[in-house]
Structure 1
Amino acid sequence: MGKGNSSGASKTAPRRKRHVGRWVFLIVLLIFANLFIGAAIFTYRIWATLPPVHELKEWHPDEPLRIYAANGSLLQVVGPQMRYALPLSQIPTKLQDAFIAAENSHFYSSNPLYYPVSLPGILRAAFVDLTHMAPVQGASTIPEQVARNFYLTPQKTITRKVAEILLAYKLAQHFTHAQILELYLNKIYLGQGAYGVEAAAETYFGKRIDQLTLGEMATIAGLPPAPSYLNPVVNPKLASKRRDYVLRRMHARGYITRAEMDAAEQEPILSRYHESASNTAPYVTDWIANWLSQEFGTDFTYRSGLKVYTSIDPQDQQAANRALEIGLENYDMGLTSLDPKTFRGPITRLHGADYQAALAGKRPEALPPHDPANLKWAVVIASSAKSAELSLEGKKTITLTLRDVAWARSRPGGPKPRAVDAVLQHGDLVWVRPYVTAVTAGAGQEWGANVWSSAGPDAGWQLTQIPKVQGAIVSLDSHTGAILAMSGGFSYELSHFNRAVFAYRQPGSGFKPFVYAAAMDAPALLASGNSSYMTPQTLIPDTPLSITLPSGQVYSPTNYSNQFSNTPIPVWSNLAYSHNVPSVRILMDVGIPYAVQYVQRFGFPAKQIPSVPSMVLGSGDFAPIQMARGYAVFSNGGYLVKPYLIRKIVKSNGTQVSLLGCPMGYEAPPSEPAIPTGVAYLMTEMMQQVIKIGTGVAAQSLGRHDIAGKTGTTNNENNAWFNGFSPQITTSVWVGYDDNHSMGRWAAGAREALPIWIHYMKTALSKTPDLPFPRPSTVSGATESFASPIGVSDYLTGYPPVASVTSATASTNSSESSKLIETIKNLF
């Protein structure tokens, strides 16, 4: 019996073990089933929340506004991020291969193990993550990266990874391999605000992608894992190692030969940050961006990839910037002004930690965010009677001698400093600029002026200060109206107000040529009821004049010199020497209503033209761009062109935006003249005399025979102008204070504005031949009675005999006064 019992027990144990094993298996199976069901539910819920991916077929990145100069160079990029969208056909094949080799070598595989998701890669990454107990590897294929870049966050979580995998499968259902690669290469973030390969090529190498070398392509392709860490500018050694890894992968995949790989590995890393644009025309781009946003809204302007092509000539624009900056600095330093100027002292004086930080290159808080114009900040380290040592922006040490601070008087009219340490002390924070030499042009003549010249790259530095005076310059192609250069102030960083377009100021004598032209246009005068007209030789009295206005006030114009002439003066001489009283007589002789109508031919709106005797002396308010447009009529032979900045605007799809209604959009030049070509030519001849013997003699320093122009200075010397031109280019310069206060007793267009004009035109005219103004067939030499020893002796053929306005008024003023009073009464 004992034996039997033992046998029964032994049979029961295996049954129990099998029974327990079944339960364990069932439990494990149930656990896995629950996990599977849970994972399925989890996955389904994620799938249900995924966005539709087919919309990416219409995807276009938010591209910024890009503004280009006339030569195609980029002036400015305005927008939140640097992006370009290129079709895959425009992306070099080797650049595509580099990304595939580095990021997803099985990208073009049809094996479901590797595309659109690499299952071996996921398992490998999961194992690494488990061993490290942290998400270390991502193992994302290109479709997964596209899914993450467009729809997900970079946060490493299981939920995001599952969503990434599911989206990758969705993408593979709706897009081809090539379409996914195109999305990837245009969307991938590659550091420094660059999204996509074209932006990265420009940012790191200053090139388009079709200009990249193989080594540069591999460098960019190595960036996606860690754009900041593998940055070729920040870590060139790491970038070099990563580049070589990409090249080896490309060779292993058969994309490049061994020789190509070896050559690319030998390329030095020559990367540096390339700004998207070094904006040399900020007042121009600001006007364009503002107009676009007002016309089309900010989203369309800054995010739709607009490309604006302007008329700006970069070389001329740089010359305009420099001429205006230095000219205004020189005035404020007293180098071109006859009125005393003073040094207003250092910006501040630094002590202790602030001083040490500045020496280390930290920008002091007392400064504006950026250096204005051509100025640099410096801190005085030590000073003595003979010299001072300064730290130039914490980068190098410079020396200033007495020559460099000699202008810095401590009070108006005071003596020049005799020692450097009388001006500069330890810790002083000051502005300096490259040294400029003042040279007098037209020396020995009444209207000679200081016209500076650069002293060369090794001339050292000079103490300066931010000028309080302002100015503007605008330059046109006389025949098309294309704005070649425009600057609206000393520094855009300090003031965004564009004075070239929006500063309406009295032009002074710069307005005289428009009224003089009205007096010489015989057909227009005769049609208006006048019985006579003028020529350059017509004699005009320069005697005291008083006009009683309807209000009872007496208007008595005076000349700049407060002197008069006992003999009548020819029209050309009145313009050359800018006599005021004879100019008023000319206006009153032709009649104010006629003159108001006539000067509108130069583009001046009627509402801006004052119907008063002082109109000829520039008592109206006009912007520099309006003056330039008016003078271009003389330059081009009588045609009123429209000044324009924008040649065309192109959308991202290649279509153009209409410029209809754009105040500075391109319009074809007119086919009919605004004034007779003969009148324009005679006025040009007279304004050439302004430069030969008159108030513009300093312009002779250009050594050109094809220039003409007119100075302008207003009452109380509030505004100074020079408007001048060649047969191709017209340029207007204005100088004055924003609050319109006086620039000083001796301020004048010849001293303050003309030197700026000269320096700009030196560059602008260097590209044009020195040829005379075209002489129209309607102009011929005058008879001997109008002969002039200086060559202004032409008149218009086919006109009735000339009747001099001096015939009844040269010897007496009473009859003329009654005529003028009657004219005024008829006007009002």
Structure 2
Amino acid sequence: MHVQVEAKGQGGMRREHNRGTRGQGRFWRITGQVVVLLVVFGTLGVGSWLIYLWHSLPSVAELKHWNPATPLRIYAANGQLLSVDGPRLRDTLQSQQIPDQLRNAFVSAENGHFWSNNPIYYPVSFPGILRAAWIDLIHFAPVQGASTIPEQVARNFYLSPEKTITRKVREILLAYKLTQHFSHRDILDLYLNKIYLGNGAYGIGAAAQIYYGKQVDALSLPQMAMLAGLPAAPAYFNPLANPKDARARRNYVLGRMLVHGYISQQEAREAEAAPLTAQYHTEGRNIARYATQWIEQWLVSQYGADMTYRTGLRVYTTIVPRLQSAANEAVATGLENYSMGLDSLDPKQYQGPVAHLDETQITQALNGVRPTVLPPQDPANLHWGLVLSTTRSHAKISLEGQESIDLGQRGVAWIAGAPNAKKSPQVDVAKLLKRGDLVWLRHYVNPGWPANGEDWRTAVWKTPAPGEAGWQLTQIPKVQGALVGMDNSTGAIVSIAGGFSYSLSHFDRALYAYRQPGSSFKPFVYAAALDGPELLAHGKSNYLTPISLIADTPLKIKLPNGTYYKPTNYEKTFSDTPIPLWKDLADSINVPSVRILMHVGIPYAIQYAKQFGFKNTQLPPVPSLVLGAADVTPMQMARAYAVFSNGGFLINPYLITKVIKADGEALPLKNCTLCVTQPPNKPVITPGVAYLMTRMLQRVIRNGTGIAAKPLGHYLAGKTGTTNDEKNAWFVGYGRHYIASAWVGYDNNGPMGHWAAGAREALPIWIHFMKSALAEEGDYPFFKPQDITQASINPKTGTLESEGGQVFDFLSGFLPPASVPEFPLFGPNASMNMPPSTTSTGSGNANNSFLQQFGNAPLQNPPKSGNGNSTQNNNGPLF
């Protein structure tokens, strides 16, 4: 029994074992089938997904006609590049323009198997994908990429930079698509023209310009290797921001070039030993930012931002670089001088350091890191400095973290408030500055104070002599200014300086600051009085001449509202002797000027002034109009004065000569107020009047308020202007070819100080600009038209003299009278034999109570009222 039972047990065990084995085999068969099914369905799913992705991909064939976004370029009159503006800096190169060695450098750095046809490495490197996947896996993050050059082209043109599996698969598929339409070389060229290389440079053409200021065919081997090392990390391997790591990356690229046989061992050693030569180069030094700003705004308004900044437009302008630079420097220096008290009799205070840095910030600044409290760029001609140490007599300053300079007493003397004294008081520098102070500096400027007794005390700064080089403590001025330079015969704008510094204020005061012009408006009214033919055409029989004698005695004019206007002179004095009209203008005497306005009549003066380009709304019908009660811009004043300088023609100022598309087609210059137009074909005022006004304005410089410009030595004419409370200072003047209008004032129209004047604030700026403008010009006299004649006169009476008198120029047919009239005449319709009336009549309108006086004899004062003393009136500007 025992044996049988045991045998049965063993058999059962064998049967159970067989059933277990069959069960396990069935499990694995089922598992295998499931796996196979999963693989089949997974493959079908992935395949379907890949097919879907493949058909959803864009057509890469369009890249054969790729036109990249190309920025706007603006050029000066001589072809010099002024600016490159757009969202991306790019200079697309044709295949034949790219050096082979530059291609080799990028291939060595980015895709060593690029030229291979092995499907394992091209267009996708599967070993590279596996290597990157392993590194990403052990770091639990997408640390390393594995994109070949075809993949990078696909990503740069069609995909986002996000790191996802879908994006990577699309990148791979697009790489295969690219190889169906493009050769290796074509794909590489697309890559080289598209890749971002830091500092706003897209493509090797832009990068070569930005880092080295060269075309790609002028790059050296180490420079090529440096650019080729940038795609991996444009910020980290940037030679400008991180030179140490950039050098290491460059040498790595050189090593790869050596391995691939593109360079020899000797070339590699020499290139690795080469110093870094990268510096930031802008595409064009934009010295005319106010001008290019206007151009960009006009283009956007006409053609939209996309066409303006992305289609490669080229704009050619009238800007003359040397004159634009002169305008920038003149305005900046003049305004700085005002803020330092170097051009006025009003002393100014030092506003103090920009900021104070702690020791950590000092260390950073000394390593060349720009302090964050400063604006992104140094304004105008200023440089930032960091005070390192001081004594009573001088300070040691780090100039922008690059070099150490010594600032002595000459550099701070203006702070003592006596810059024109023979011996200025000593400034205690240790009390003024301390370590860590951040200050503004400029190259030393000799203020050029005039000798005692010189009229108007105009300080014209001088360029330091070779032995006077050095630095000067300064500050950003709160006052503003503008200058417009123009060719007075064509209207071509050669310079626009719209403020102290474009980096601090984009508002263009040259074009848009409407300010009262003061006495610089007088010539338009004087011209109206001299224009005999025009007066006759309007039914007025009495004209003036340059030698007409005008009374300079207190004047009171009853206004329509019943109040009285009593103009006064700048010096608050009067003269018992009548003054010739030319001298009234040269010395800018106010009361005679108002008499001249009333002589021709305000409505007539306004109509006449409109011929100079002013609008009716700018010209208020008040007696102070002649003293500058209008609101005008520096550009308008330059255009208006050009009428005098060019023989009577009202030219159209223009800045743009042509706009060219990328394909060479010229764009129409529509709705463009500063684009070139046809010149005027006839004068707006009598040519002889223009010449007479020029001759009178020459006397302003020869012996009047503009005498500080006399040392320039050319045939020059111009006029100063200063308004009530010294709020605005002007000088507008011209030579044979160039005209310039300079204005100085506060943006809030506040007063500039008791002694501020056009002769002191604006004139020096004009002088320095014109000095540059005249540097390449001959000394030519102004053209005398045919309607000018000469006659001998008696300067004491303003009448003709048969013998022994002084010779003056006059309009033909409009000479001074042969004798002095018995009495002055009042009223627009008065005849020569009417007695004077004590009641004022209208200037061409019977209901107008403004006083109007006619006659070529001395214009007499109306009857006195009250104490007869003149007081300053706020209805209009003074000087």
Match of 1:284 in 2: 291
CA contact (8 A) 1:53 1:170 kept: yes
Structure-2 separation of matches of 1:246 and 1:720: 66
Q: 1:215 to 1:771 in 2, by over 3 A?
A: farther
Unpaired runs of 5+ in structure 2?
1-21, 795-799, 828-833, 849-879
Query: 1:608 Cα deviation (Å)?
Result: 0.6
Mapped pair 1:507 → 2:517? yes
Equivalent in the alignment of 1:807? 821
Larger mean Cα displacement after TM superposition, 426-435 or 352-361: 352-361
Matches within 5 A, 1:629-778: 629-702=639-712, 704-778=713-787
Q: Which amino acid aligns with 1:464?
A: T
Verify the 8 A CA contact 1:635 1:729 in the aligned structure 2. no
CA distance in 2, matches of 1:438, 1:319: 18
2:808 matched residue in structure 1: 793
Contact kept? 2:529, 2:543, Cα under 8 Å: yes
What's the RMSD between the two structures over aligned residues?
Answer: 4.0
Q: What is the DSSP-based 3-state SS (H/G/I as helix, E as strand, rest coil) of the residue aligned with 1:793?
A: strand
Distance 1:327 1:494 in 2: 17
Distance 1:223 1:398 in 2: 37
Letter in 1 for 2:406: T
Q: Which deviates further from its counterpart, 536-545 or 612-621? A: 536-545
- How far does residue 748 in structure 1 lie from its aligned partner after superposition? 1.1
What CA distance in whole angstroms lies between the structure 2 residues aligned with 1:70 and 1:426?
Answer: 47
Q: Does 1:125 align with 2:128?
A: yes
Cα distance in 1 for residues equivalent to 2:259 and 2:172: 25
Q: What SS does the corresponding residue of 2:447 show, helix, strand or coil?
A: strand
Mapped to 1, the partners of 2:762 and 2:804 lie a distance apart of: 30
C-alpha contact (below 8 Å) 1:231/1:239 kept by paired residues: no
Partner of 1:3: none
CA distance 1:468–1:147, change in 2 (3 Å):
same
Find the counterpart in structure 1 of residue 5 from structure 2. Answer: none
Give the aligned partner of residue 407 of structure 1. Answer: 414
Question: 2:358 aligned with 1:344, yes or no?
Answer: no
Q: Distance in 1 between matches of 2:767 and 2:590?
A: 25
AA aligned opposite 2:841: I
AA in 1 matched with 2:213 = G
Given the alignment, which residue of 381, 390, 400 partners 2:397? 390
Counterpart AA for 2:407: L
% same residue? 51
3-state DSSP class of the match of 1:463?
strand
SS at 2:648 equivalent: coil
Q: Secondary structure at the match of 2:536?
A: helix
Kindly report which structure 2 residues correspond to 1:355-504, keeping only aligned pairs within 5 A, or say none: 362-364=369-371, 366-409=373-416, 418-441=427-450, 444-455=453-464, 459-504=469-514
Offset at residue 812 of structure 1 (A)? 11
Give the Cα–Cα distance (whole angstroms) in 1 for the partners of residues 277 and 42 of structure 2: 54
Q: CA deviation at 1:186?
A: 2.3
> Which AA in structure 2 matches 1:480?
T
Structure 1 window deviating more from structure 2 (298-307 vs 547-556): it is 298-307
1:783 aligns with 2:797: no
* Structural mapping, 1:2-401, within 5 Å: 36-57=43-64, 59-88=66-95, 91=98, 113=118, 118-119=121-122, 122-126=125-129, 128-129=131-132, 140-154=147-161, 159-174=166-181, 180-209=187-216, 211-212=218-219, 216-217=223-224, 219-221=226-228, 223-228=230-235, 231-233=238-240, 234=243, 235=245, 237-238=247-248, 240-241=250-251, 244=254, 269-350=276-357, 353=360, 362-364=369-371, 366-401=373-408
1:360-414 Cα offsets, whole Å, 9 max, x none, are 5555555444432222333434333322333434433333333322222489999
Unaligned runs of 5+ in 1: 1-15
Question: TM-score w.r.t. structure 1 length?
Answer: 0.86
Q: What is the alpha-carbon distance in structure 2 between the residues aligned to residue 375 and residue 438 of structure 1?
A: 17
SS in 2 for 1:453: coil
- 1:743: how far off? 1.5
Instruction: For residue 648 of structure 1, report the CA deviation from its aligned partner.
Output: 2.3
In the aligned structure 2, how far is the partner of 1:564 from the partner of 1:83? 67
Amino acid at match of 2:561: S
Q: Does 1:600 align with 2:610?
A: yes
Aligned counterparts of 2:731 and 2:322: Cα–Cα separation in 1: 21
Indicate conservation of the 8 Å contact 2:545/2:815, yes or no.
no
> In structure 2, what is the equivalent of residue 822 of structure 1?
842
- Write the deviation string for residues 234-272 of structure 1: whole angstroms up to 9, x where unpaired: 3563465356457658975xxx99999999899765322
1:527 aligns with 2:532: no
Q: Name the CA shift for 1:790/1:176 in 2 (closer, same or farther; >3 Å).
A: farther
Q: Give the Cα separation in 1 of the matches to 2:701 and 2:123.
A: 84
- The one-character-per-residue Cα deviations of 1:725-782 (angstroms, maximum 9, x if unpaired) are 1111110111111222222222111011101111111112212222222222332332
Instruction: State the Cα distance separating 1:435 from its structure 2 match.
Output: 1.5
Rounded Cα–Cα distance in structure 2 between residues aligned with 1:151 and 1:652: 24
Does the CA-based 8 Å contact 2:841-2:847 persist in structure 1? no
- Give the TM-score, by structure 2 length: 0.81
- Deviation for aligned residue 1:566: 2.5
Aligned AA (2:347): P
How far apart, in 2, do the equivalents of 1:773 and 1:707 lie? Answer: 9
The 1:420–1:157 alpha-carbon spacing in structure 2 relative to 1, beyond 3 Å, is closer
Q: Secondary structure in 2 aligned to 1:657?
A: coil
Q: Distance in 2 between matches of 1:763 and 1:789?
A: 42
CA distance in 2, matches of 1:503, 1:395: 39
SS at match of 1:47: helix
Contact 1:408 1:423 in 2 (8 A): no
What SS does the corresponding residue of 1:298 show, helix, strand or coil?
helix
Report the Cα distance in structure 2 between the residues aligned to 1:489 and 1:375, rounded to whole angstroms: 14
What code does the residue aligned with 1:769 have? G
1:211–1:87: structure 2 CA closer, same or farther, 3 Å change rule? Answer: same
Out of 498, 517, 526, the residue aligned to residue 516 of structure 1 is 526
Aligned-pair CA distance for 1:712: 0.6
Give the secondary-structure state (helix, strand or coil) at the position aligned to 1:454: coil
Aligned residue pairs total 802
1:551 and 2:561 equivalent? yes
Distance 1:269 1:346, change over 3 A: closer
Determine helix, strand or coil for the equivalent of 1:767: coil
> CA offsets, 1:466-511, max 9 Å, x none?
2222111111111221221111222223222211111111111101
Q: Does 2:577 align with 1:542?
A: no
Deviations 1:794-823 (A, max 9, x none): 1223x2554489735579999777586332
Per-residue deviation, 1:450:
0.7
Q: Secondary structure at the match of 1:568?
A: strand
CA distance in 2, matches of 1:794, 1:633: 19
Distance 1:815 1:571, change over 3 A: farther
Mean Cα displacement is larger for which, 478-487 or 390-399?
A: 390-399
3-state DSSP of counterpart to 1:437 = coil
Counterpart CA distance in 2 for 1:427 and 1:223 is 37
Instruction: Single out whichever of 680-689 and 562-571 deviates more from structure 2.
Output: 562-571
Structure 1, 421-430 or 503-512: larger mean CA deviation? 421-430
- Per-residue deviation at 1:464? 1.9
Which of these residues, 542, 556, 566, is aligned with residue 576 of structure 2? 566
Rounded Cα–Cα distance in structure 2 between residues aligned with 1:180 and 1:827: 85
Q: Match of 2:739, as an amino acid?
A: T
